[in-house]
Structure 1
Amino acid sequence: MATFAELINGNKPVLVDFSAEWCGPCKMMKPILDQVKADLGDSTTIIKVDVDKNKSAANAYKIQGVPTLIVFKNGKPMWRQSGVVQADQLKSVIKKYL
């Protein structure tokens, strides 16, 4: 299995959903992310990071609240937003980096 660093260092966009089990808005993101994945397919990788289980990743990107979504390309954060983001907005953001 690839490490977090290996995943975000690829040249295809990676959407990282920093979330937590106890977070209500994080649960609302699941069907949205499923729809984005269904629409964009293999052009994009979507990974979920539980901030309680992966404190080092959360600290590295200064995650203050969940959900926080970050799009990485070639290891660099290209876009970031906290809170629930609708599928259409996410798709248009990701398509900029394809």
Structure 2
Amino acid sequence: MAKGTLADLVETLNAEKAAANQTAFQDINDDAQVLLEYAQGMTDYLSRINDNQHAINRDLVKSDYLGGEISKSEVAITMLDKYLNKAVVLLEKAQR
């Protein structure tokens, strides 16, 4: 009787552990999805800045505006790198 109870307890604990891992994987997936959406937003932002820079360069207009946009693009690249690095770490954890 005691062995049956112990086996039931072990089975219950293993089922709870499996359920906890599934929840953790879902949380990791959700976090990675959010980070990838942020990264997509940064990529779109960089694309718009790049388009603006090309338009300005075509007109040969050198101004503070271009310098400001270049500075903004550097910040956006840094943020994009941060989001992508976090997403990679989360995905690596999910694969373990």
TM-score past 0.5 threshold: no
As a proportion of its length, which structure holds more strand? 1
TM-score under structure 1 length normalisation: 0.24
1 or 2 for the larger relative contact order (CA 8 Å, sep ≥6)? Answer: 2
Q: Which has the higher helix share?
A: 2
